[in-house]
Structure 1
Amino acid sequence: MTKGLAGRTAAAALIAGAMLVAAPVAAQQKVQLSYHWGPTHPAAGFANQFAERVTERSDGALDVQVFPSGQLFGIRDVLGGVASGAVQVGMAVGIVSFPPINSDYNVTAMPGMFDSFEQMRGFFDETEAGQALMQDMQSKTGIRIVGRNPVGPIAVFSAKDDLSSVDSLAGISARVLTDADRVRWGALDAGSTVSLPTGEVYTALQNGIADTVSTVPGALSAYSWWDCVKSAQLPYFQFADAYIIVNAAWFEGLSPELQQVVTEVGAEITAESTAAIMDASAQMLDRLEAEQGGTVFELTGDELAKMNRIEREQIYPGLTEMVSKDTLDAAQAYTQGD
Structure 2
Amino acid sequence: MTESVSRARPNLLANWLFAVAALVVIIVTVGGITRLTESGLSITEWKPLLGALPPMSEADWQAEFGLYKQIPEYTQINGPAGMDLEAFKSIYWWEWIHRQLGRLIGLALAVPLAIFAVRRIIPQGYFWRLFALVALVGLQGSFGWWMVASGLETRTDVSHFRLAIHLCTALILLGGLIWTALDLKALAKGDTTPARLRPVATWTGIILFVQLLLGAWVAGLNAGLASDSWPLMQGRFLPEFDSSRGLFWALTHDPFLIHWMHRWWAWVAVTALVLMARKVKPVNRKASLAIHAAFGTQILLGIATVMSGVEFHLAVLHQLVGALLVAAYAWGAHALGRSE
TM over 0.5: no
What is the TM-score when the length of structure 1 is the normalising length?
0.23
| Greater strand share, structure number | 1
Larger radius of gyration: 1
